[in-house]
Amino acid sequence: MSLVGCFVTPHPPIIVPEVGGRELARVEATVEAMRLLGEVAAGLDPDSIVVMSPHAPLARGEMGISVGSDYRGSFAAFRAPLVRLAAPVDRDLAQAIVEKASVEGVPVTLFETRAETVELDHGAMVPLFYATQGLKRPWRLLVLSFSYLDLETHVRFGRALAYAMEESPSRILYIASGDLSHRLIPGAPAGHDPRGAEFDGAIADTFARGDWKGMLSLDGGMVRAAGECGYRSLAVLAGIVQALEASGRITQNHLLSYEGPFGVGYLVGEVKIGPGKSDSGGGR
């Protein structure tokens, strides 16, 4: 089998109905786009889901993989304890990623609690809440984390992920979780900086056009000023797409929604993955 699709999602718990309540109306575009991704996920019928979460355990100088006996999580911290998720760990894929990352020269650490359950953070829980609602059979999970290493290392990690996922016997769905600027408006969670909206506009534009090179070339000062938590997650996804296209597979980006009503940018998107060019009769 192989990688069957990639999603880009935000992760504010407020978009979960049991958490957001009345506030859900203020993020209607995001909620509808996430519901659409849930329908897409059901059609892709994955055996395993891989999530890059900015809130998973993080090592400054190594990419991370969280593994244990299984994964479990709930929104108890957000007053919705009955909304829960549980899934077994895809250990075979974890090992394959470690091996491919080594070939790419990317340092990786296993946050391993072999005899213990790994508690899912909201960076994974929110996208999984929507992505798994329509799944008809059991699925496995793998949670990853980025690092403070440079962007190019994140891109190389993405290539390693692609190699491992493409060689897997499973159907795999990849989710790049991350919020954009936290500084869009006065009163935003991280304060206000006009470069936050500039950053978000550049991300939305480059993603919609499939311009990964342009996305990775954004001004560093603007990126730092944005106060984001999704740029490195997108850099890893860029590496995945690079590897897929180098192998002849066809990808196409779809920007489904963008909004920032609470001062944090929420982008929802999909990277559709098609067969190799020789099998499809057409190009991108």
Q: What is the pLDDT of residues 18-53, one digit of tens each?
A: 999 999 999 999 999 999 999 999 999 999 999 999
**261, exposed or middle or buried, with CB in 10 Å at 0-12, 13-18, 19+?**
middle
Pairing of β 80-87 and β 3-9: unpaired
Q: pLDDT confidence of 78, banded at 50, 70, 90?
A: very high
Does pTM surpass 0.85? Answer: yes
Structure tokens, 25: 């109306």
| Predicted local confidence at residue 115, as pLDDT | 72
| Predicted local confidence at residue 283, as pLDDT | 32
Q: Where are the domains of the chain?
A: 3-280
**Contact (CB, 8 A) for 200 and 260:** yes
**Average pLDDT rounded to a whole number, residues 233-255:** 97
The domain defined by 3-280 folds into Protocatechuate 4,5-dioxygenase; Chain B (3.40.830)
Q: What percent of the chain has pLDDT over 70?
A: 96
The C-alpha torsion from 136 through 7 and 107 to 180, rounded to 10°, is: -130
**Phi then psi for 78, rounded to 5 degrees?**
-115, 30
